[in-house]
């Protein structure tokens, strides 16, 4: 019995189709070409991956195998392998998801592990929308605001979180500006943010939260100048510094030094506009269509297990060192970034002085800049992989505190150092290296109130 297998025209067509489907059919291309206006669900991504594997292995089998029985065996093996692979990944995801809900991955929250309802409530705020004055900001669409609102988080179309200026009553009016730390990302409610804690612990000022995730000092200046000063506030508080430093470091590492004062994500927006003008918009940010990667916890698990293999894109919030960075040039660039930051602060003070308002700058607490951080926390947040960035951050902070003494900047890191030295666990104060817990915000508010009331 002749068991040889000679490819026919139909077989060659099947071979071509299988390889083409195996290479081209994947969650990214399907999302981009067929579901461009909505995200791909986890189940859809899993099914596409299943078909992807089957077609790819089938095409390879038809290309190299020359016996009928072997072809049948390879097809059977391919199907079984695809099912086993998909089942294993799904089981891994379910297990890791259940483990994370029990806190099995440690005490710290992050994007994939330990995700709880509070963290999930902030996911909509990770998406920023174009704003006519501030480049980017939270959505002003009432429908999106309604979908975002919960017992944890709510804000108005005017981009005020919690209390509004109209509810001041007999209190003096104050505004808090800044990025996600000032906004109160990952706090359990509007009342447990810094502005909420300030309003609870004193009754002279009503502090309105006018911060916005990802904002830098330039955007804060725009908001003070274009909008907030019209309310005739008695006080403006700026809690910031980290986003300016982080953005400066990333631009230095990428060679975008001419965009030093540009907001976060400006480069991405510029790329979209440029490609659209060139009629290449379908090639833009393919991965942004797949907002949640398939098997995220499994990917992150292997990302942590095998550090050199980066399966998940590093968050922009905490940069990782780039190779071959010149420390002297790095320090010079950090000082240039700090000069821009201080210039923006002085512009805000000029505006508040002209309106006879008071102005307070709080250099936000950053876990990386604390001396009394446990070895466990240093390991979890991979301090050793960010030595260049920490050097940049320290140079930035030192320049700001020494060159802007006339601004009477409150260094919030100095507030938390004694507490950490006394043995208070880091996780009681910090959610991650740049965001505070409810207790952390309360501690900061308690220290700021005497400073504010003395003004």
Please report whether residue 237 resides in a domain: yes
| pLDDT over 80 at 287, yes or no | no
Contact call for residues 389 and 249 (beta carbons, < 8 A):
yes
| pLDDT over 60 at 294, yes or no | no
Task: Name the pLDDT band for 95 (thresholds 50, 70, 90).
Answer: confident
Q: Note whether 244 and 374 are same-domain residues.
A: yes
Q: Note whether 167 and 96 are same-domain residues.
A: no
The most confident of the ranges 58-62, 91-95, 211-215, 420-424 is 211-215
Q: Note whether 352 and 246 are same-domain residues.
A: yes
Please report whether residue 305 resides in a domain: no
* Tally of domains in the chain: 2
Contact call for residues 189 and 250 (beta carbons, < 8 A):
no
pLDDT digits (tens, 9 = 90+) for 160-216: 999 999 999 999 999 999 999 999 999 999 999 999 999 999 999 999 999 999 999
Q: Tell me the average pLDDT across 146-151.
A: 90
Q: Note whether 94 and 150 are same-domain residues.
A: no
What is the average pLDDT value for the chain, to the nearest integer? 78
Which comes out higher in pLDDT, residue 305 or 57? 57
Please report whether residue 343 resides in a domain: yes
Q: Note whether 34 and 85 are same-domain residues.
A: yes
Q: Tell me the average pLDDT across 296-318.
A: 48
Please report whether residue 331 resides in a domain: yes
pLDDT digits (tens, 9 = 90+) for 14-39: 667 776 776 666 666 665 555 544 44
Q: Note whether 80 and 123 are same-domain residues.
A: no
Please report, for residues 139, 182, 299, the alpha-carbon distance to residue 153 in angstroms, rounded to integers and kept in the order given. 14, 14, 29
| pLDDT over 60 at 40, yes or no | no
Q: How far apart are CA 215 and CA 217, in angstroms?
A: 7
Please report whether residue 285 resides in a domain: no
Please report whether residue 269 resides in a domain: no
Which comes out higher in pLDDT, residue 131 or 191? 191
Last residue of a domain, one of 76, 101, 126: 101
- Which pLDDT belongs to residue 410? 94
pLDDT digits (tens, 9 = 90+) for 333-342: 999 999 999 9
Which comes out higher in pLDDT, residue 454 or 120? 454
- Which pLDDT belongs to residue 170? 94
Q: Note whether 346 and 416 are same-domain residues.
A: yes
- Which pLDDT belongs to residue 379? 72
pLDDT digits (tens, 9 = 90+) for 51-71: 777 777 777 766 666 666 766
- Which pLDDT belongs to residue 266? 74
Last residue of a domain, one of 43, 76, 101: 101
Please report whether residue 268 resides in a domain: no
- Which pLDDT belongs to residue 383? 65
Which comes out higher in pLDDT, residue 291 or 157? 157
- Which pLDDT belongs to residue 377? 72
Provide the domain limits for residue 190: 117-250+316-453
Q: Note whether 162 and 83 are same-domain residues.
A: no
Q: How far apart are CA 446 and CA 188, in angstroms?
A: 18
Please report whether residue 272 resides in a domain: no
- Which pLDDT belongs to residue 296? 63
Segment among 71-80, 304-313, 384-393 with least mean pLDDT: 304-313
- Which pLDDT belongs to residue 387? 82
- Which pLDDT belongs to residue 106? 42
Segment among 23-27, 176-180, 219-223, 289-293 with least mean pLDDT: 289-293
Q: Note whether 62 and 122 are same-domain residues.
A: no
Segment among 221-235, 274-288, 307-321 with least mean pLDDT: 307-321
| pLDDT over 50 at 127, yes or no | yes
Task: Name the pLDDT band for 276 (thresholds 50, 70, 90).
Answer: low
Q: Note whether 328 and 207 are same-domain residues.
A: yes
pLDDT digits (tens, 9 = 90+) for 347-363: 999 999 999 999 999 99
Provide the token pair at 281: 């918009």
Q: Note whether 121 and 56 are same-domain residues.
A: no
Q: Is 227 exposed, middle or buried (0-12, 13-18, 19+ CB in 10 A)?
A: middle
Which comes out higher in pLDDT, residue 252 or 321? 252
Task: Name the pLDDT band for 92 (thresholds 50, 70, 90).
Answer: confident
Last residue of a domain, one of 74, 101, 128: 101
CATH number of the domain bearing residue 331: 3.40.50.1110
Q: How far apart are CA 240 and CA 411, in angstroms?
A: 10
| pLDDT over 60 at 306, yes or no | no
Task: Name the pLDDT band for 130 (thresholds 50, 70, 90).
Answer: confident
Share of residues in the chain with pLDDT > 70 (%): 66
Q: Note whether 49 and 144 are same-domain residues.
A: no
Contacts for 141 with CB less than 8 Å, ≥ 6 apart? 129
């Amino acid at each position: 019995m002749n068991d040889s297998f000679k490819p026919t025209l139909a077989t060659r067509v099947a071979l071509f189709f299988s390889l083409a489907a195996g290479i081209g059919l994947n969650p990214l291309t399907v999302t981009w070409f067929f579901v461009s206006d909505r995200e791909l669900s986890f189940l859809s991504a899993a099914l596409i991956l299943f078909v992807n594997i089957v077609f790819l292995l089938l095409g390879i089998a038809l290309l190299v195998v020359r016996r009928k029985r072997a072809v049948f065996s390879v097809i059977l093996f391919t199907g079984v392998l695809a099912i086993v692979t998909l089942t294993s990944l799904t089981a891994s995801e379910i297990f890791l998801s259940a483990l994370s809900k029990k806190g099995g991955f440690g005490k710290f929250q992050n994007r994939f592990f330990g995700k709880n309802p509070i963290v999930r409530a902030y996911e909509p705020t990770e998406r920023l929308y174009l704003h006519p004055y501030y480049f980017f900001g939270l959505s002003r669409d009432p429908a999106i605001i309604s979908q975002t609102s919960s017992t944890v988080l709510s804000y108005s179309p005017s981009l005020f979180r919690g209390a509004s200026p109209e509810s001041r009553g007999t209190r003096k009016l104050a505004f808090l500006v800044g990025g996600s730390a000032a906004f109160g990302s990952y706090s359990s409610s509007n009342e447990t943010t810094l502005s909420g804690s300030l309003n609870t612990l004193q009754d002279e000022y009503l502090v309105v939260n006018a911060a916005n995730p990802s904002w830098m000092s330039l955007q804060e200046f725009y908001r003070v100048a274009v909008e907030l000063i019209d309310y005739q506030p008695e006080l403006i508080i700026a809690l910031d510094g980290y986003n300016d430093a982080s953005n400066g470091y990333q631009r230095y590492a990428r060679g975008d030094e001419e965009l030093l004062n540009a907001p976060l994500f400006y480069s991405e927006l510029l790329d979209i506009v440029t490609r659209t003008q060139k009629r290449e918009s379908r090639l833009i940010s393919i991965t942004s269509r797949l907002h949640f990667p398939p098997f995220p916890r499994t990917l992150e698990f292997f990302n942590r297990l095998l550090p050199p293999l980066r399966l998940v894109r590093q968050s922009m919030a905490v940069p990782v060192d780039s190779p071959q960075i010149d420390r002297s040039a790095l320090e010079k660039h950090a000082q240039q970034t700090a000069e821009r930051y201080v210039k923006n602060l002085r512009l805000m003070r000029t505006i508040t002085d002209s309106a006879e308002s008071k102005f307070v700058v709080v250099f936000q607490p950053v876990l990386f800049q604390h001396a009394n951080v446990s070895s466990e926390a240093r390991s979890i947040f991979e301090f050793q992989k960010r030595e260049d960035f920490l050097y940049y951050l320290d140079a930035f902070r030192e320049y700001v505190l020494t060159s802007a003494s006339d601004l009477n900047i409150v260094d919030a890191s100095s507030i938390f150092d004694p507490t950490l030295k006394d043995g208070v666990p880091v996780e009681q104060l910090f959610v991650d290296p740049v965001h505070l817990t409810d207790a952390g915000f309360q501690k900061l508010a308690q220290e700021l109130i005497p400073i504010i009331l003395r003004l």
